[in-house]
Amino acid sequence: MVPAVDPVDRRRFEKLVADALDALPPELGHLMENVAVVVEDRHHSEDLLGLYEGVPLTEREDYGGLVMPDVITLYRRSLCEVAVDLEELVEEIIVTVVHEVAHHFGIDDDRLHSWGWA
C-alpha cells in the first residue's frame, strides 16, 4: 500500500481548494450559481473524495427566491489518504473540484469518465 500524505491542516487545505476553484476558467466560474464549497474531514457513511448536493443547472426551472445554495463538499482526510505527496494532493483536489463542479453543470459520471475525469 502506498503511504498517504499526512493530513494537511484545515486552513492550508481550504487554501488549496480555493486555488483549485480560482484555476477554473473565469467564464465557467461566472456561470456557477448559488453554490457553496465546504471542507469536511470525511463523509459520514461513504468513502468519498467529494460530493455535489443540489439541483444541476440543466434541471433547474424557476430557481429564484429563498433557495438554499447547492453544496460542493471536499473531504480533507479522504483526499490526503489517496495522495502520496503534496503535489499529488493538489492534483487530486483539482480533479475533485472539476468533478463536483461538472455535476453542478449537469454533467454525469459517465460523461466525466469518457472525458478522463472520473
In tens, the pLDDT along 78-94 reads: 999 999 999 999 999 99
pLDDT at 38: 97
Q: Can you spell out the DSSP letters for 68-113? A: PPEEEEEEHHHHHHH-SSHHHHHHHHHHHHHHHHHHHTT--HHHHH
- Which pTM was predicted? 0.88
The residues spanned by each domain of the chain are: 12-59+66-114
| C-alpha Rg value of the chain to the nearest Å | 15
User: What percentage of the chain carries pLDDT values higher than 90?
Assistant: 59
Residue 116 has pLDDT above 60, yes or no: yes
Give residue 97's pLDDT band: very low, low, confident or very high (50, 70, 90).
very high
Residue 112 to residues 54, 73, 99, 102, 118: CA-CA distances in angstroms? 18, 18, 7, 8, 5
90: closest CA among 20, 4, 2?
20
Give CA–CA dist 14/21, Å, rounded: 11
CATH C-level class of 12-59+66-114: alpha beta
